[in-house]
């Protein structure tokens, strides 16, 4: 009886692990997402941070200094549920938490500074790059764990007053997205709708 129970537990664990390993993005997928890092600097003023230029890539989620996140996992550390925004930041030596980001320059931006009379709050918006007028999904918690769900997404990582919505990435970022090799966009993974619920 004990042997049967142990085998059952092992089988369930294997099935779960196998399912996660084969969920999108998979080994061989090659997705692209637009990103912006945006911060308010006073009353009515803001700046867009420069593109990340460090191209270090331990797991297959990286940038080429083009304002895009290239998602093509070459090991299981960057597939399925492990394909996360935090993985992208870690690749270039930075990080993202629920209150701060570290850029490739070594600069750390922390929420709480004055943003036009209100404290800046770190907020991430997920947009659909193929439908820029669609309402984004907004996150203020679990930012490092935000998953890449499909090809052609767009993210704005913003320091803004609480309750505000980060802006859509600038048009020039989409120009780079449209210029990438179309063959790299081919995937057998069906296009997913963005979640309709707001988290955070």
Q: How many whole angstroms separate alpha carbon 176 and alpha carbon 35?
A: 11
Residues 6+ apart with CB under 8 A from 78: 25, 59, 60, 61, 71, 87
Which pTM value belongs to this model? Answer: 0.79
User: Checking phi first, is residue 127 left (phi over 0); if not, alpha (psi -120 to 50) or beta?
Assistant: beta
Please give the C-alpha separations between residue 96 and each of 23, 57, 88, 157, in angstroms, as whole numbers. Answer: 24, 17, 9, 10
Number of neighbouring beta carbons within 10 Å of residue 155: 24
Q: What pLDDT is stored for residue 2 in this prediction?
A: 55
- The tokens for 15 are 């099935």
Q: What pLDDT is stored for residue 184 in this prediction?
A: 53
Q: What is the DSSP string of 140-164?
A: SS-GGGPBP-SSSEEEEEEEEETTP
Q: What pLDDT is stored for residue 16 in this prediction?
A: 46
Q: What pLDDT is stored for residue 12 in this prediction?
A: 40
- The tokens for 95 are 């990080």
Residues 6+ apart with CB under 8 A from 120: 39, 40, 111, 112, 113, 114, 159, 160, 161
Q: What pLDDT is stored for residue 179 in this prediction?
A: 80
- The tokens for 150 are 């499909």
Block mean pLDDT (10 aa), the chain, length 200: 49 42 80 95 79 91 94 88 96 97 96 92 95 93 97 96 94 85 48 45
Q: What pLDDT is stored for residue 92 in this prediction?
A: 94
Q: What pLDDT is stored for residue 1 in this prediction?
A: 56
Contact by Cβ (8 Å): 26, 18: no
Task: Locate all alpha helices (DSSP H) within the chain, ordered by sequence.
Answer: 2-21, 85-91, 171-179
Which residue in 49, 58, 81, 62 sits closest to 159, CA to CA?
Answer: 49
Q: What pLDDT is stored for residue 95 in this prediction?
A: 98
Question: Kind of pairing, strands 31-42 and 153-161?
Answer: parallel
- The tokens for 127 are 């947009």
Cis amide bond preceding 25, omega within 30:
yes
């Amino acid at each position: 009886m004990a042997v049967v129970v142990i085998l059952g537990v092992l089988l369930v664990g294997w099935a779960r692990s196998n399912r996660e390993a084969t969920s999108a993005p998979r080994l061989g997928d090659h997705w692209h997402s637009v990103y912006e890092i945006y911060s308010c600097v006073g009353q009515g003023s803001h700046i867009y941070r420069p593109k990340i230029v460090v191209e270090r890539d331990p797991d297959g989620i990286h940038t080429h200094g083009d304002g895009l996140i290239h998602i093509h996992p070459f090991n299981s550390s960057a597939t399925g549920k492990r394909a996360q925004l935090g993985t992208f930041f870690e690749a270039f030596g930075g990080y993202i938490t629920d209150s701060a980001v570290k850029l490739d320059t070594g600069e750390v931006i922390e929420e709480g500074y004055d943003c036009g009379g209100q404290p800046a709050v770190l907020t991430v918006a997920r947009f659909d790059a193929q439908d820029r007028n669609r309402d984004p999904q907004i996150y203020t918690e679990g930012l490092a764990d935000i998953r890449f769900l499909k090809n052609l997404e767009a993210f704005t990582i913003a320091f803004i007053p609480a309750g505000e919505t980060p802006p859509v990435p600038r048009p020039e970022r989409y120009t780079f997205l449209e210029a990438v090799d179309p063959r790299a966009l081919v995937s057998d993974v069906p296009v997913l709708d963005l979640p309709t619920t707001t988290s955070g």
